[in-house]
Structure 1
């Protein structure tokens, strides 16, 4: 049941009391901003199409809170509107045995995105609003952000995208209290909020952020505006409702002590029952249970793989482009490609022709694109964020980390990995893709060895839940053949995450490799075979799942060469060393061939020679090992 304006006014007073209580009980938190935003939270959650009895309905409106530190306000508003238990919120706030963390957490009823890293919420809202239009579910998206985070560049990126895509199903509310940690926002770094949004072409409404009637009318006007997105700039007062807290930046992130809390609650006319909550807090478990909720993520029909023959000259990125276009044909309206002005380079041209309605051009705005794609993935579509490796992983590490925290269903396809891209030079050589993805807890990494394995890896990613990164080089490479001259990853091959491929069987020496140099290892092995020397070549397409026990017979009492177009200090060697120790295996020797410094520009074959990754250097290294 929706609340009347008078009921909201009464709830606002109670919620301010809740904010004081929970931060005092926890002895930490952000009461000031929560009290300036609370009237907006009550207004939005009250008017939005979200049912406390069915909070995960896939057609519900979405509310994204970008300034996640105002969680006390969010939790109190949701609890007083029937989504949560107020006692559990107040007693459990910021306790490890409670779901009510210091920054809001996705999966709590009413909360759509885990935030705290300021500046990303608007991009998440744009992604959800785009998904609303693509799926035809026609829900509205509300984003609330603070004026303190307004200088963030990603917010500007998101504003431009929202206007370009005519997201008339997106409404932003800005808490304009002119206060942040260090003092007045205007003194820290002035931002003209009106002109910023005006220059991006948004519809703008200005209101008193503590006047429920003005907020109600503005939200209704925004929902009915058809010419693009709307921003409601709400002028507020930090610490609103408690005289000694108002307009004081000291209360941004400082809770009240018991004496101050008692004084504040009396001023609000709210009962001081803090001791009750302190006692409840003592009974909480050390660690809470995992947060379970209904998620709107989907998988794709993988279709029939494309098999390339030995006559085909295809780069892995080209195989990716062909596969994603084929997936779009099979899964109408479900596969989305998110591009950052790299369509020819990441091979999305075919996809755009096949599915123009799900091809999203973000422009040169990688941070924005990574968050948009992540947010879309939890709204009933399967996005592939395609980018160069240094942009899609290195540059967007924080955004990808937040996607990982949010347990999204994003597929990231990064091309131009390794020194394989040659002349572009060190600023564009992505040589850290294993090390970066290793930092995440819920993201898989696939480094396919040739076009056939790439095709099957893309189909696997689309048909599997969870975040997947696929790392590819730039150059056209040969199809890897088995010892009978047939495509190794051909008609009968099925991609299995974590499985290692025995490309060549031998003895005494094993090469562990992946990606765009794997075919070189096979060529060297075949050359040595003609000389009567048989070595093993094993493709490790999922380096982060390396398990030495699966191939122990190729490691024990063998010389090992790690051979990869990657930073040698954070690549496959790390996983190999860890697993060999864990499994108590005893290789005769280990040679780590990879990149040990930033590379100059140049032809990729010359660069491979510089770092000892060319076929001749590999051949000589093997002969040296065997002849010792």
Structure 2
């Protein structure tokens, strides 16, 4: 069911998700901090306000679905699932370890609450479109949510999915762009520009909104609006900061994928404050 927590409660959950993301990445000694931290508020709003889900029934047919197309940001996804009660938070320290269910990319066969295995960029959005299309064809009323990265939008398969969703008028599909404008090789607008995003998606038949991807209240208001949209899939451009919440990671392409040493871990945890949920 939809929890619809207050703005203040969601902010607290987001802070704990961010802390646990750092804890799991430090424990793993590898992973992708930058893009995981940039999407925290988006995923917190989805799991603690928007989505119709139940951790007690992770495979309920009428549940809403979520696809993390930028699968390398899995640490924040796992932290959100644990925060929502899909599994014990103690599992987060097993990230990327032998025998752990928490691999470097999400695996729907191993992790409770994961609706689609993702990893190769560009493929998750296609899976999300397929889920939404199936729901429309069979009269199901669940909604499908997806987060993609801006570097990922350089993939051709993404644009095929956009064209398909617009053609089939998938108004049960909501896609978030984690628009931090950094990818592993540098700035997205310099490596291969995807801009202007809004106009391109509108040309593909999408309803497009833009908002601050770290503003919980704004994200909630945007999602409330797109629920009223009919005959168009919804695309929400969330303006975000790569590495958000940790000063030495913010807006640094080098933290796309890098290990966190002990000294950096201590500084990050100090900046993120005490556990609050």
TM-score, length-scaled by structure 2: 0.95
The answer to whether structure 1 residue 217 and structure 2 residue 217 are counterparts is: no
Whole-Å separation in 2 of the counterparts to 1:245 and 1:266: 14
Whole-Å separation in 2 of the counterparts to 1:155 and 1:238: 21
Match of 1:229 in 2: 233
Larger Rg: 1
Which of 72, 75, 81 is the equivalent residue of 1:72? 75
Question: Contact 1:171–1:223 at 8 Å: present in 2 too?
Answer: no
Higher relative contact order (CA 8 A, sep 6+): 2
Whole-Å separation in 2 of the counterparts to 1:105 and 1:162: 24
Question: Contact 1:36–1:175 at 8 Å: present in 2 too?
Answer: yes
Counterpart of 1:231 in 2: which secondary structure? Answer: strand
| Unaligned residue ranges in structure 2 (runs of 5+) | none
How far is the alpha carbon of 1:195 from its aligned partner? 2.2
Whole-Å separation in 2 of the counterparts to 1:23 and 1:75: 11
How far is the alpha carbon of 1:2 from its aligned partner? 4.0
Aligned residue runs from structure 1 range 155-304, under 5 A? 155-192=158-195, 193-270=197-274
Whole-Å separation in 2 of the counterparts to 1:65 and 1:25: 22
Aligned structure 1 segments of 4 or more residues deviating by more than 4 angstroms: none
Question: Contact 2:148–2:176 at 8 Å: present in 1 too?
Answer: yes
Match of 1:30 in 2: 32
Which of 1, 7, 10 is the equivalent residue of 2:9? 7
Aligned residue runs from structure 1 range 565-576, under 5 A? none
Whole-Å separation in 1 of the counterparts to 2:98 and 2:6: 36
RMSD of aligned residue pairs (Cα, Å): 1.1
Aligned residues: 270
Change (3 A) 1:78 1:240: same
CA offsets 1:65-110 (integer angstroms, 9 cap, x no match): 1000000010011111222211112x21011211010001114232
Whole-Å separation in 2 of the counterparts to 1:179 and 1:208: 16
Question: Contact 1:145–1:172 at 8 Å: present in 2 too?
Answer: yes
Counterpart of 1:99 in 2: which secondary structure? Answer: coil
Question: Contact 2:17–2:76 at 8 Å: present in 1 too?
Answer: yes
TM-score, length-scaled by structure 1: 0.42
Match of 1:85 in 2: 88
Whole-Å separation in 1 of the counterparts to 2:147 and 2:237: 10
Whole-Å separation in 1 of the counterparts to 2:124 and 2:153: 11
Question: Contact 1:35–1:241 at 8 Å: present in 2 too?
Answer: yes
Aligned residue runs from structure 1 range 530-609, under 5 A? none
